[in-house]
Amino acid sequence: MGTGYILGLGLGTIVLVFYIVLNFPSWMIEYNMRKEKMAKAKKYHDWVYAADDSMNKTLKTIIYGVYAYGAYVFFAEMWSKYT
């Protein structure tokens, strides 16, 4: 392996470790809040309550953004080709 690959993997590992270490306390707070919320009497199944949480909203936003960018690139190319 070249030096660039080794440095890149090392930097990626450092970034990943910092991400986990810095976000772990907030993950525990969120986990405890969800655990308390889920301990209440439920009218529906668990998947109903977890169906549209923050992670899903983030993923939906990213996917919509990718599709919107793809549509933009497609129409920009069509516009430049036929005008």
Helix (H, G, I), strand (E, B) or coil at 76: helix
Spatial distance between the Cα atoms of 50 and 45, rounded to a whole number of angstroms: 9
The string of pLDDT tens digits covering residues 2-22 is 788 888 888 889 898 988 888
> What's at 74, amino acid-wise?
F
Runs of H (alpha helix) within the chain: 3-38, 46-50, 54-82
| pLDDT given for residue 1 in this prediction | 63
- Report the predicted TM-score, pTM, of the whole model to 2 decimal places: 0.40
pLDDT tens by residue, 37-83: 777 776 777 677 666 677 778 888 899 999 999 999 999 999 998 88
